[in-house]
Amino acid sequence: MSYTEVPGARVPIRMWTDPATVEDVAMQQLRNVSTLPWIKGLAVMPDVHFGKGATVGSVIAMQGAVCPAAVGVDIGCGMSAVKTSLTANDLPGDLSRLRSKIEEAIPVGFSMHDDPVDPRRLHGLPTAGWDEFWGRFDGVAEAVKFRQSRALKQMGSLGGGNHFVEICLDETNSVWLMLHSGSRNIGKELAEYHIGEARKLSHNQGLVDRDLAVFIADTPQMAAYRHDLFWAQEYARHNREIMMALLQDVVRKEFKKAKPIFEPVISCHHNYVAEEQYEGMDLLVTRKGAIRAGGGEYGIIPGSMGTGSYIVRGLGNEASFNSASHGAGRRMSRNQAKKRFSERDLADQTRGVECRKDRGVVDEIPAAYKPIEQVMEQQRDLVEVVAKLKQVVCVKG
């Protein structure tokens, strides 16, 4: 489908879904965002749903300003995937050992590595700029600096919620490795600190929603936020790189006879800010629950833990600010999912997938998400499908 434009807003709200299907609270969030004086456009993805601060599945283009709450607290959250030379025939009938080995190598939930991971000891991982990256930690907000030790040990760890590591098969039965994570606790701490600082600023006092507080260009507060924002986005990218290297090491050891080969890694943020130009304007584009889908650019759009995911190539649609959805998108809250579904429902909906099937992950049950096929159909003018993947192993935080 092409987009639908919502009337009555200060700037165009272009929606790649039927506006009538969007929750009232999410639609109000979108209208609130459209009232900001600095906004130049708003694109809404088919996986749109209500979120803290700003709507998940929204792309906000502003000139000379950025809203930290619209980025979200998991700065730089995103996906990585790699195709391997393995096929379904190389996989054992019982995948439980493989899942256990992945969980041993990559800490999940609140866990972290006992000692920081040394990237120089990981096979094939580029380490150029590593020391310079950590050197820039000295410039982050003073209130967060005491977290450096934790940030070092959490580098290369998964986290919880909807973060995951998966072994997947594509439609040709090739094996793919895929993972989803972000900037861990350090990104959350930096985000919460700057959201609090933005709320104090005088120009934000009359906003319709205090969560939409912004930093304005050429101010010390904006400079400080940009430093920490881009550092946290880089942390998230490094975090996924290290996890992918750890995951590849597991696969090399478990499939030693097959001597697996790995293609180049595809990686994309879906909670972040980028400096981009549209219609001759230099804009700060915030994607919260959206990936960049410029012409020919690869991206990853996951479904749920029992459905499947897509590797895509962007079509460069400027009406969406070169963006596409970041996944299936929730259609009910975590609490609603826990009340509505049981462990038996989870087992039924993840049949054939080696994964946790206990009460602790019922909130991630596939039925809590929108159908990924529907989401993909609604954005045919944003991306083209390169590969469809179906997980056979899923490690959840």
Burial class for 131, CB neighbours closer than 10 Å (0-12, 13-18, 19+): exposed
- Token digits for 178? 């895929």
Average pLDDT over residues 240-247: 98
Distances (CA, A) of 161 to 123, 208, 235, 342, 368: 29, 30, 19, 18, 13
The one catalytic residue in 163, 180, 269, 326 is: 326
Specify the pLDDT at position 1. 57
Average pLDDT over residues 242-265: 97
Q: Contacts from 366-369 at CB under 8 Å and sequence distance 24+?
A: 366/303, 366/304, 366/305, 366/306, 366/307, 367/337, 367/341, 368/304, 368/330, 368/331, 368/332, 368/334, 368/336, 368/337, 368/341, 369/303, 369/304, 369/307, 369/327, 369/328, 369/329, 369/330, 369/331
Work out the pLDDT band at 53, boundaries 50, 70, 90: confident
Express each pLDDT in 333-391 by its tens digit: 999 999 999 999 999 999 999 999 999 999 999 999 999 999 999 999 999 999 999 99
pTM across the whole model: 0.96
Specify the pLDDT at position 241. 97
Neighbouring residues of 141: CB distance < 8 A, sequence distance ≥ 6? 190, 193, 194, 224, 228
What whole-number percentage of the chain has pLDDT above 90?
93
Express each pLDDT in 265-299 by its tens digit: 999 999 999 999 999 999 999 999 999 999 999 99
The answer to whether 180 is a known catalytic residue is: no
Average pLDDT over residues 199-221: 95
Mean pLDDT computed over every residue of the chain = 96
Express each pLDDT in 96-136 by its tens digit: 999 999 999 999 999 999 999 999 999 988 888 999 999 99
Work out the pLDDT band at 54, boundaries 50, 70, 90: confident
Over 90: is that where the pLDDT of 156 sits? yes
- Token digits for 339? 């009340």
Over 90: is that where the pLDDT of 16 sits? yes
* Amino acid at position 174, single letter: S
Q: Degrees (nearest 5) of the Cα angle 240, 235, 180?
A: 30
